[in-house]
A and B are shown apart, each in its own frame.
Chain A
Amino acid sequence: MGILDLTAVQLGKAIKEKKYTALEAMEAVLEQIDKTEEDLNCYVTIDKEAALEAAKKAQEKIDAGELTGPLAGVPVAIKDNMCTKGMKTTCSSKILGNFIPQFSSEAVIKLEEAGAVIIGKTNMDEFAMGSTTETSAFGATKNPRNPEYVPGGSSGGSAAAVAADECFFALGSDTGGSIRQPASYCGVVGMKPTYGTVSRYGLIAYGSSLDQIGPLAKDVTDCATVLEVIASHDCKDSTSVKREDTDFTSALVKDVAGMKVGIPRDYFTDGLDTEVKQAILDAAKKLEEAGAIVEEFDLSLVDYAIPTYYTIAAAEASSNLERFDGVKYGYRAKEYDGLHNMYKKSRSEGFGPEVKRRIMLGSFVLSSGYYDAYYLKALKVKAMIKKAFDEAFSKYDLILGPVAPTTAPKLDSSLSDPIKMYLSDIYTISVNLAGLPGISLPCAKASNGLPIGVQMIGNVFEEKKLIRAAYTLEQILGDLELGGVRA
């Protein structure tokens, strides 16, 4: 077993035990990147020298006893919508193609304080708008399990980098499934915490009321460990929540006895691939065998989540992305005639088609005469969806279901039909609308060789239940032999 086969926590332990150094870990990762990056395109920016230098410094601090945490010296990849001081942060968009932030996002600072070492910035759908990482201005990322397929999105670069051992773990962001779905497609573990658990300061906003940062990792233990490090109450983020219960690793216990698991019947409809369906039901069975009480129930309102989500997310995005105008940073058109023409050209040349599509939709649903009919209506349905979950969690400890209706689609097969692409988010989106935590972990390998992920959803602030159930299932399932570019 080589260094790349270690999980983040295993590596951290090995470094502490002086079996490896932080520098060796970084060198191993960079070597792997040299081998596979050309085919996969997981990263937008890698600064090898800075990464090696940072690894050396981390090792010095470890040697001096200043860094003792579980992630000290462990190389990490950061989704390119999180600001990193002095390192280009593009959101995979031409409009931010040359943007160098002057401060780091709070989640990145927490990781750095814990001694994790940044490798670079991972590719994503432009401004996190997309489900395949194909809307990136810097080329699509490929699925390391089979490069003819997409890695999912929008945190596709982060998920693929974890799956391809181009990092030991990564940060992603999840607005409508952008951590969980690529985790599922790439066969890694991804977690979206309760809204407000991880500070959004420094995360370049897409849908502010829905965005949440979370880990993508090799296993549930890594996920819980990373979340424990990045969860914090941040006075700079008004939506940040003060929590006392962020000792998530304490929930890494193989025990689901008596845990009540609800399976929403309305998730298992026609759109769901039969193989995926079977894999999810098998996973539920495994939990039941381990002592969980598994029941089917009707969640209701499932079909309304996507239109609600796209209305709210597009509206917020249309406003959040107004600041990209060629005045203060980023791309400015070369030729223009006057102020408004400068705005128009810079934005039209700087944004890609999917981003423009959502900005247009968002501007429309907020415009005079349509606000009540669309935006306000969506906020009301959101309240109804939240209530449906409240009712479910009055009966169940967690909800178990698929992450996505199918395994990863082929490259170039999704963007031509946006609504079809949006439909693939049906199981993940309502979790963001209700602010809930959700985890995606691999549960099977499909006949096409691609991973299948199972999703567990918890009530607000109940990550620990999710972690316990996910950890238990992971232990029961063992190695799924998902294979991929390194296999």
Chain B
Amino acid sequence: MSKNYETVIGLEVHVELATKTKIFCGCTTAFGGAPNTHTCPVCTGMPGSLPVLNKKVVEYAAAVGLATNCKITQKCKFDRKNYFYPDNPQNYQISQLYLPICRDGHVDITLADGSTKQVRIHEIHMEEDAGKLVHDEYDDVSYVDYNRSGVPLIEIVSEPDMRSAEEVIAYLEKLRQTIQYLGASDCKLQEGSMRADVNLSIREVGASEFGTRTEMKNLNSFTAITHAIEGETERQIDLLEAGKEVEQQTRRWDDNNGESYPMRSKEDAHDYRYFPDPDLVPLNISDEWLDEIRSNQPEFKEEKAIRYREEFGIPDYDIGLITDSKKLADIFEEATAECGEPKKVSNWILGETMRILKEKSLDPEDITFSPANLAKLIKLVDGGTINGSVAKEVFANIFDEDVDPEAYVEEHGLKQVNDEGALKACVEKVIADNPQSVLDYKGGKVQAIGYLVGQTMKAMKGKANPGMVNQLLKEMLDK
């Protein structure tokens, strides 16, 4: 490479809002369901049907705007974006062009080296999602399902302020965390409730003008985004180095092949003929309404962290990880309220919970167990009803099926054996059956006792009180 280049990246992030119903009709937004069962005349563009705005969509959009330091457009409107495609039943999408609900915001991101950076938000607008197209493998046809048609979206458009994949991921993480804290969306990339299109261009370091940009679509994981940014940067630099020009186009990223392909069609005029939707009336977000939305904003990560430090006295490391996710923070607070053991709750969250999440490739948002059951589990351990290893087994069942630990322990006979007579009998048998280990121990190999504890636990099916076993063994061996 003869010249020094920099990558300039702006993001268009679509987020599906967590409303119960679609943006313009009373159909459910629930995932799944047989094709076209979640539809009505409005979201399938039937002749004569008319849209009516879902109030909750406005509140979520404004809440995200406030949380990202945007100015709220108190008099805003909806426009029609006209283009023909079968996933769009009216052949226009109701969106906002002229007066988007939020403008001129920013978020602060923290990078791996500890430095911070501000990414500006150009605008956030409300719009409706499209239906789903499934392509037949053999036939030259596609099948249309309008269950997702009309699901509310916000599109968050950043300024071209990012310079690397790391910054992009940090920005997305920040948006995701903020929106999850608001409860405005679960922001799952894999399921498409958060989607990022990457606008990327290359210029020489120090240049003031931007290069020609491309827009990259179909990025459904942070890994895919990172790969796509690296791939596209390389592709554009190669073009420039070869004296060619970058063409302004939309490209589709194929993460399996690690390549992108232009999405082009001569029928695609990119002239959307936006105009105000005459079926909808203007939105007038009063100061009172805005104050109400503002007063309902949750406690975000930063404030939460300060409070945790004062209230719970757990280590900063724990606080950082727990407050990264609203879901984990909620579990932490609720379980702690039940059992009064913040550090133990934190240990369960950062230990077993995180381990299982990683093992199953899940996000904290996928957690379904109730914090109350975690609290009960902690109490069972504290009260000596079960031992630590049984607790892990019980927790696995809490995680999977949200079982009541008390009932579960009872049902499966997992109570810790604290009966000295029973334990003594067992220990005696283990000593008798393992003369070599006994000799080793007596000969000075203190660690041999570990094996004997293990054998005892095994014989007691894991339910023995490990402290008592240890003590009994020592007493008998040292006799």
**A interface, CB within 8 angstroms of B:** 82-83, 89, 91, 96, 99, 101-103, 105, 200-205, 207-209, 235-239, 315-316, 318-319, 322-325, 327-329, 339-340, 343, 363, 366-368, 371, 375
CB neighbors of A among B7-58 (8 A): 41, 44-53
B82 sits at the interface (CB 8 A): yes
A202 to B46, CA, bound (A): 9
From A236, A238, A319, give the contact of B273 (CB < 8 A).
A319
A289 CB, min distance to chain B CBs, angstroms: 43
CB neighbors of A among B397-433 (8 A): none
What residues of B have a CB within 8 angstroms of the CB of A340 in the complex?
84, 265, 267
A459 to B460, CA, bound (A): 92
A329 to B49, CA, bound (A): 14
Q: A367 contacts B273, CB within 8 Å?
A: yes
Q: A323 contacts B48, CB within 8 Å?
A: no
B279 sits at the interface (CB 8 A): yes
**B interface, CB within 8 angstroms of A:** 41, 44-53, 80, 82, 84, 86, 89-92, 144, 265, 267, 271, 273-275, 278-281
From B51, B91, B265, B281, give the contact of A323 (CB < 8 A).
B91
Do A103 and B41 form a contact, CB below 8 Å, given A82-B48, A204-B47, A238-B50? yes
What residues of A have a CB within 8 angstroms of the CB of B44 in the complex?
328
Q: A238 contacts B41, CB within 8 Å?
A: no
Q: B275 contacts A371, CB within 8 Å?
A: yes
From A101, A325, A363, give the contact of B48 (CB < 8 A).
A101
> Apart from A83-B48, A96-B47, A322-B91, what are 6 other A-B pairs with CB-CB below 8 Å?
A238-B279, A323-B45, A325-B91, A327-B89, A371-B273, A371-B274
What residues of B have a CB within 8 angstroms of the CB of A103 in the complex?
41, 46, 48
B187 CB, min distance to chain A CBs, angstroms: 30
What residues of B have a CB within 8 angstroms of the CB of A89 in the complex?
47
Q: B89 contacts A328, CB within 8 Å?
A: yes
Q: B281 contacts A205, CB within 8 Å?
A: no
A423 to B280, CA, bound (A): 30
A208 to B277, CA, bound (A): 9
From B265, B273, B279, give the contact of A239 (CB < 8 A).
B279
> What would 27 A/B residue contacts be, using CB atoms closer than 8 Å?
A83-B47, A101-B48, A200-B50, A201-B48, A202-B48, A202-B49, A203-B48, A205-B279, A237-B50, A237-B52, A238-B280, A239-B279, A319-B92, A319-B273, A319-B275, A322-B91, A322-B92, A323-B47, A323-B89, A325-B84, A328-B46, A340-B265, A366-B82, A366-B274, A366-B275, A367-B271, A368-B273
User: In the complex, which residue of chain A has the Cβ closest to the Cβ of B268?
Assistant: A340
A204 to B84, CA, bound (A): 19
What residues of B have a CB within 8 angstroms of the CB of A323 in the complex?
45, 47, 89-91
From A207, A208, A238, A319, give the contact of B52 (CB < 8 A).
A238
Q: A375 contacts B48, CB within 8 Å?
A: no
What residues of A have a CB within 8 angstroms of the CB of B280 in the complex?
238
From B41, B80, B86, B275, give the contact of A339 (CB < 8 A).
B86
Q: A101 contacts B278, CB within 8 Å?
A: no
User: In the complex, which residue of chain B has the Cβ closest to the Cβ of A347?
Assistant: B84
User: In the complex, which residue of chain B has the Cβ closest to the Cβ of A364?
Assistant: B273
A38 to B101, CA, bound (A): 56
A162 to B82, CA, bound (A): 39
A328 to B91, CA, bound (A): 11
Q: A316 contacts B144, CB within 8 Å?
A: no
Q: B90 contacts A375, CB within 8 Å?
A: no
